[in-house]
Chain A
Amino acid sequence: MIANLPDSPVLRRSLALAPALIIIGVFMLIPMVVMAIFSFLEAKSFGGVVWNFSGSAYIQLLYERMLDDSLRLSPGYLIIIARSFLLAFVAMVCCLIVGFPVAYFISRQPIQHRNMWVLLITIPFWTNQLVRTFAWIIILGRNGVIEAPFRFAGLLGADETLGLMYSDFAITVGLTYTFIPLMVLPIYASLEKLDFSLVEAAADLYSSRWEAFSKVIIPLAKPGIIAGCLLVFIPSLGAFIQPDLLGGGKKLMLGTLVQFQFSTARNWPFGSAIAMILLAFVMLFLILYARAARNAKAMDLH
């Protein structure tokens, strides 16, 4: 059997790579190509596509076709894209504000305890995301966990509410809660490698606590911070469970818009086009990240 293996090292190497290439090809490239092709076709009335080339899906993003067939610039979808970006950005900042101290705390624990803390961070991942999001309805909703003490203390009347649910606030809470482990873990990974004697050295050289933090810890944790921000920002951009369940589905987001096109609107090309736009933005951020990482490395070498 072994004798049957090819002798050429090139062939051997490509055989060894084959499983990875097949997985990337079948599960990533082919679906993406299908999506790209669909986005340039015409929609069939009951779902599916007609095999005619058409750029109308992309035109629809920017223009509204008036009843006399003229085109008018329409900001509708751009507003949806902008809103998705804003909420994803806010969620990312909230994750960073909450996640950084947590990661720092864990990295300062004795080595034998650290794994336990990391385990605690990942436990919520073991439960279905939908279930965890539903739990927030119980916490934020009318007569929920947060409102109960207010009502008990008489600060809220029987039929009054704090109005936490079905708002942008609720969406942000949901996104932050869901994606925070993705922020904590990469930051922890960079902080764990941080040589704490550098911070002590900074203190010896009369730096204030703030200076030691901003000029020593933050720069050294930067790769983790950037990775964490990307890992939170990208899925937040396409999230649709939180806007739907916690935001009350009152405002469309990119994720809900895509879902809507493939279900009730039955406009597959337009859904594919939005997905392609989303993909383009994600690619853009990844390229920016790769550049930042390369620059950081170049700085290290100097």
Chain B
Amino acid sequence: MILKTALWAASALALMAGAAQAEGSLNIYNWTDYTSPEMIEKFEKETGIDVTLDTYDSNETLLAKMQAGATGYDIIVPSHNFIPIFIEEGLVQEVDATAMPNFKNVKERWRHPDWDPEQKYTVPFHWGSASVAYRPDLYGKELESYGEFFEPSEEVSGRISVFKTPEEVVNLAHLYLGQEFCNEDPAAMQRVQDLLIAQKPHVMAYSSEGMNDRLINGDAIISTHWNGYAYKGRTLAEEAGKELVYAYPKEGVIGWMDGLMIPASAENVENAKIFMNFIMDPENMGIQSNYAGYGGPIEGQEEFMDEALRNAPEINIPNDTKMIFSFACNAKAQSLIDRVWTNVLR
């Protein structure tokens, strides 16, 4: 272990020494609007490596592309629930994150996650949560439970906006009902379906886009939301003299985390590892967080983050709030989810 770390440090140093010359290239394949140009520029300056960026808009797209044999990418950034699929399908290679010098900066709670317990394949990146956001100025009270969203009162009927992605909606329903995610028990799924069908007459739209627009113009009073997007929404709402709050209901929130991985087909493996180590530095992750608007896993990165983001309630989850991570369901649980969703929307 120590030997590995030492070797790693040595090779990293050797590469740093030659930073002035071009050190080849690195092709990053990341989510749209998610990669800080400032951070990339800093990386290029420090290492001399040329970075090319390509983007995708969903885990499904990334997976389909890698399954179809896409080559030429050195770093990909799947979400935690897709990470086991990439490993299982043999689409990524081992990176041994724990041996990297900067791994010591990773906060304890983000080390050895369920989806990669030995941290063999992933370097942790942004994390976030999904819950509901609401307009306290229109709602008139504090939202404390998902019950107020799934079984809404008369005043907010017809002004509820819901994600279009069945997994997230079903998981929120599970949270509210106190049930396990990826449930294979038909009775439990029946309860989810009953809840969603009863909620439907109160719903204005099923959409995973434009939540901020609907909340700010008052079309919606309560909407499912992601914390980073809600942070942007709150800022916009404040400019318009309105309130938008990302809620931490007592039942908890759904967590997600993206991880950096190296595809099996990568050509610049060493450069990809240098990048992984680079991103685990507090300053670099701080710069990256400023751009993406999401929290990161690195100790001390707060120091390099904008004050507004550092103090944002959206990324500072209360200590007593549970964050439950979803995972990719097996075929049986997935088909139950699909059936529930089709029954709700037909």
- Residue positions of A touching B, CB distance < 8 A: 43, 45-48, 64, 67, 76-77, 79-80, 137, 141-143, 159, 161, 163, 165-166, 244-245, 248-252, 260, 263-267
By size class, the interface of chain B is 35 or more
B346 near A264: Cβ-Cβ < 8 Å: no
Contacts of A267 in B (CB 8 A): 335, 338
Let me know if B338 and A265 touch, CB within 8 A: yes
How many pairs of residues, A versus B, come closer than 8 Å at their CB atoms? 77
Chain A residues with CB under 8 Å of B334's CB are 45, 265-266
Q: How far is the CB of B60 from chain A (nearest CB, A)?
A: 6
Residue of A nearest to B330 (CB): A45
Q: Are B217 and A143 in contact (CB under 8 A)?
A: yes
Partner of A248, one of B138, B167, B205, B335: B205
* A142-B218, A264-B165 known; A248-B338 Cβ under 8 A: no
CA distance A248 to B138 in the complex (A): 21
Question: Do residues B338 and A250 form an inter-chain contact, with CB atoms below 8 A?
Answer: no
**Nearest 10 A/B pairs, CB to CB:** A248-B205, A45-B331, A249-B206, A265-B338, A76-B346, A252-B345, A142-B219, A67-B186, A166-B204, A166-B205
B297-316 contacts to A (CB < 8 Å): none
- Seed contacts A76-B343, A159-B218, A266-B60; 18 additional CB < 8 Å A-B pairs: A67-B186, A77-B346, A137-B210, A142-B219, A143-B217, A159-B138, A165-B204, A244-B164, A248-B204, A248-B207, A249-B205, A250-B206, A251-B345, A252-B345, A260-B341, A264-B165, A264-B167, A267-B338
Judged by a CB distance under 8 angstroms, whether B106 is at the interface is no
Complex CA–CA separation, A252 to B64 (angstroms):
24
Contacts of B203 in A (CB 8 A): 248, 250
Q: Decide yes or no whether B328 CB sits under 8 A from chain A.
A: yes
- Given A159-B138, A266-B334 in contact, is the A80-B346 Cβ separation under 8 Å? yes
Residue from B58, B167, B200, B346 within 8 A of A252 (CB atoms): B346
Chain A residue at smallest Cβ distance from B85:
A46
Interface status of B67 (Cβ within 8 A of chain A): yes
The residue of chain A having its C-beta at the shortest distance from the C-beta of B61 within the complex is A263
> A67-B186, A263-B58, A264-B165 given as contacts; is B219 within 8 A of A165 (CB)?
yes
B342: Cβ under 8 A from any A Cβ? yes
Which chain B residues border A47 with CB–CB below 8 Å? 60, 63-64, 67
Give the most central of B64, B331, B345: most A CB within 10 Å.
B345
Query: Most A CB atoms within 10 A — which of B186, B200, B203, B219?
Result: B219
Q: How far is the CB of A257 from chain B (nearest CB, A)?
A: 8
Taking the closest CB of chain A, its distance from the CB of B189, in whole angstroms, is 10
**Beta-carbon contacts of B198-213 to A below 8 Å, as 1s and 0s?**
0010011111001000
**B152 on the A face (CB < 8 A):** no
The answer to whether the Cβ of B166 comes within 8 Å of any Cβ in the partner chain is yes
> Which of B328, B341, B346 contacts A46, CB < 8 Å?
B328
Asked whether B207 lies within 8 Å of A244 as measured between CB atoms, the reply is yes
Residues of A within 8 A of B204 (CB): 165-166, 248
CB contact under 8 A between A249 and B167, given known A142-B217, A266-B60: no
Which A residue sits closest to B220, measured CB to CB?
Answer: A142
Could you show 27 A-B contacts with beta carbons less than 8 Å apart? A45-B331, A47-B64, A47-B67, A64-B339, A77-B342, A141-B219, A143-B218, A159-B218, A161-B219, A163-B158, A165-B204, A166-B204, A248-B203, A248-B205, A248-B206, A248-B207, A249-B164, A250-B200, A250-B203, A251-B345, A260-B341, A264-B60, A264-B165, A264-B338, A265-B166, A265-B334, A266-B334
> Which chain B residue shows the least CB distance to A48?
B67
When chains A and B are docked, how far (Å) is the Cα of A260 from the Cα of B342? Answer: 10
Q: How far is the CB of A176 from chain B (nearest CB, A)?
A: 21
* A140→B210 CA distance, assembly (Å): 15
For A77, list chain B residues within 8 Å (CB).
342, 346
Q: With the chains together, A76 CA to B203 CA distance in Å?
A: 20
Q: Is there an interface contact between B218 and A250, defined as CB atoms closer than 8 Å?
A: no
Within 8 A of A (CB), among B137-165: 138, 158, 164-165
A79 and B205 contacting across the interface, CB-CB below 8 Å = no
Measured between alpha carbons, how far is A79 from B203 in the docked complex, in Å? 20
Which residues of chain B have C-beta atoms less than 8 A from A45's C-beta? 330-331, 334
